Amino acid sequence: MTTPDSSQDDATDRSGARPTIRLRPNTDARAIRRGIPWVFSDQIVSDRRTRALAPGAIVRLEDAGRQPIGTVAATTGSRIVARLLDADPEAEIDRDWLKGRLVAALDMRERLFDAPYYRLVHAEADGMPGVVIDRFGEIAVIQPNAAWAEARVGEIAEILTEVAGLRAIYKNASGRARGLEGLDDVSSMLIGQAPDGPLPVPMNGATYLADLTGGQKTGLFYDQRPNHAFCARLAGQGGRVLDVFAHVGGFALAALAAGAGSAVAVDGSAPALELAMGGAEASGVSGRFETRREDAFDAMQAMGEAGELFDLVVCDPPAFAPSKPALEAGLRAYERVARLSASLVEPGGYLTLCSCSHAADLTKFRSACLRGIGRAGRRAQLVHTGGAGPDHPLHPYLAESGYLKALVFRLLP
């Protein structure tokens, strides 16, 4: 019996047509055939030719018995060593293939949204692993977070202009995943000119300002759109709203557009709050909108001590548990957010707590929130559990694609 290494000191298939990587005998090939899109470094046979593959190489994936599984993009220096592109092991990842994926993604968004403001491509869930594209009218921001996509980003941009009628495309290279793929962090315009300033984005009756080249991620978070709309109804006519970790005022501006009496947005970023105020002015609600640049925990502590109360409190913090090693500390942070924010809700009012940490699943996140609410001496009804909007589809075999959780509680009198 040969060892995996000695049996695989040839990473090209016998036809010479395409390099091949092979699963170790103890790897469940059936799970990958059913749809799991990632193969990890400890699941493949590693030999000198496999290790010599260029980052993002298009290769054929085989099981331990040499039966083909599909076409993958391989980056052997990454923890995710292979990303499934196509179940056809001979698929050509060419212009026609890219266009087919982009057209399919565009078709779904055009059925879902009346205006061209949405996430156009949501990575693995749209069959383009590591690729995120957000659309802002005639401009798009693309994040090629995998080496195979970085090598084709120019072609992807050209196809986007063709199928979606875009006039400008910006490449955002700030994603943490790029470092794991050996990619740089240099952002640039791929097509057209950068916008002169923040772009107005209509959403949920409000107007938001998106800074495509200098803001966080792609400039705006579309994923919370349905949760903004749901919470806006709970604020009520004339209600008082507190939006903590507000970024550009997502929840606050939607609530004001729906008739809330006033809203306070708390965030530690001055540029984000400037965009929030600009959005309030563009929405015609600046007279009812206030921003506070403070540490969120300090602000909530101070407001609680001052006895401030709101009809709706929303906390949408950054990922406190971005990985499994950070999970326990992250859950404690979510519990603390829940405790501090629960004390700021009027009896009978509403509290929305959000998490974008994929390491903290819904059950763990909900438990942390309930502990915090209980520690604040409050009783709650869970009235709604939300996730990302349909322009952020969930890959059924990739929990990371369902990262966003929003829990809406009514705090009982």
Q: CATH classification of 17-86 is 3.20.20.70, yes or no? A: no
Alpha helices (H) along 165-289: 176-180, 225-235, 250-257, 270-283
Nearest in space to 137 (alpha carbons), one of 195, 189, 187 = 195
CATH 3.30.750.80 spans which residues of the chain? 95-191
Active site residues: 356
Q: What is the pLDDT of residue 130?
A: 95
- Tokens linked to 17: 């047509």
Nearest in space to 342 (alpha carbons), one of 382, 384, 300 = 300
Q: What is the pLDDT of residue 2?
A: 34
Low-confidence ranges of the chain (pLDDT < 50): 1-15
Q: What is the pLDDT of residue 5?
A: 39
Q: What is the pLDDT of residue 363?
A: 96
pLDDT in tens, 358-374: 899 999 999 999 999 99
- Tokens linked to 275: 């965009």
CATH 3.40.50.150 spans which residues of the chain? 200-411
Q: In angstroms, rounded to a whole number, what is the distance separating the alpha carbons of residues 123 and 26?
A: 28
Q: What is the pLDDT of residue 36?
A: 95
- Tokens linked to 266: 């708390």
Please list, residue by residue across 40-64, b when 16 or more beta carbons sit within 10 angstroms of its beta carbon and e when fewer do: eeebbbbbeebeebebbbbbbbbbb
CATH 2.30.130.10 spans which residues of the chain? 17-86
Spell out the CATH class of 200-411. Answer: alpha beta
Helices 327-342 and 296-305: crossing angle, nearest 10°?
30
- Tokens linked to 7: 């049996």
Q: CATH classification of 95-191 is 3.30.750.80, yes or no? A: yes
Q: What is the pLDDT of residue 9?
A: 38
Q: What is the pLDDT of residue 91?
A: 96
Cβ atoms of residues 296 and 341 within 8 Å: no
